[in-house]
A = this chain, B = another copy of it.
Amino acid sequence: MEAPWITFRPEIKVLDCTIRDGGLINDHQFDEKFVRAVYETCVAAGLDYMEIGYKNSKRMFPPDKFGAFRHSDEEDIRRIVGDNDTPLKLTAMADTGGKSDWKTQIQPKEESVLDMIRVACYVHQIPEAVDMINHSHEMGYDVSCNIMAISAAQDAEIDQALEVIVQTPASAVVVVDSFGALYHEQVALLVAKYQKALEGTGKEVGIHMHNNQQLAFANTIEGIVRGANRIDATMAGVGRGAGNCPMELLLGFLRNPKFKVRPIWKLLQDHFVKLRETLEWGPLAPYNITGQLNQHPRTAIAWRAGDRKDMYAEFYDKTMADI
One complex includes copies of this chain to the number of 2
Q: Choose, from A16-24, A163-171, A308-316, the stretch at the interface.
A: A308-316
Within 8 A of B (CB), among A249-277: 249, 252-253, 261-262, 265-266, 268-269, 273
Measured CB to CB, the closest approach of chain B to A237, in angstroms, equals 8
The interface size of chain A toward B, counting residues with CB under 8 Å, comes to 46
Q: Looking across the interface, which residue of chain B has its beta carbon closest to that of A292?
A: B252
Q: Assess whether A246 is interfacial by the CB under 8 Å rule.
A: yes
Q: What are the residues of chain B within 8 A of A262 when measuring CB–CB?
A: 313, 316-317
Q: Assess whether A186 is interfacial by the CB under 8 Å rule.
A: yes
Measured CB to CB, the closest approach of chain B to A273, in angstroms, equals 5
Q: Assess whether A10 is interfacial by the CB under 8 Å rule.
A: no
Q: What are the residues of chain B within 8 A of A315 when measuring CB–CB?
A: 265
Q: Looking across the interface, which residue of chain B has its beta carbon closest to that of A182?
A: B5
Q: What are the residues of chain B within 8 A of A219 when measuring CB–CB?
A: 218
Is B288 a contact of A248 with CB atoms below 8 Å? yes
Measured CB to CB, the closest approach of chain B to A252, in angstroms, equals 4
Distance A261 CA – B293 CA, assembled complex (angstroms): 12
Distance A268 CA – B183 CA, assembled complex (angstroms): 23
Q: Assess whether A205 is interfacial by the CB under 8 Å rule.
A: no
Q: Looking across the interface, which residue of chain B has its beta carbon closest to that of A188?
A: B4
Is B285 a contact of A268 with CB atoms below 8 Å? yes
Interface-central residue, A2, A5, A214, A248, by most chain B CB under 10 Å: A214
Contact A269:B186 (CB < 8 A) given known A214-B218, A215-B218, A288-B248: no
Top 8 closest pairs, chain A to chain B, by CB: A218-B218, A252-B292, A266-B313, A265-B312, A5-B185, A265-B313, A269-B312, A273-B310
The chain A residues found within 8 Å of chain B, CB to CB, are 1-2, 4-5, 155, 183-186, 189-190, 211, 213-219, 221-222, 225, 246, 248-249, 252-253, 261-262, 265-266, 268-269, 273, 285, 288-289, 292, 310-317
- Given A5-B183, A183-B221, A214-B249, output 9 extra A-B contacts at Cβ < 8 Å: A1-B189, A5-B186, A213-B217, A213-B249, A214-B214, A265-B313, A265-B315, A265-B316, A269-B312
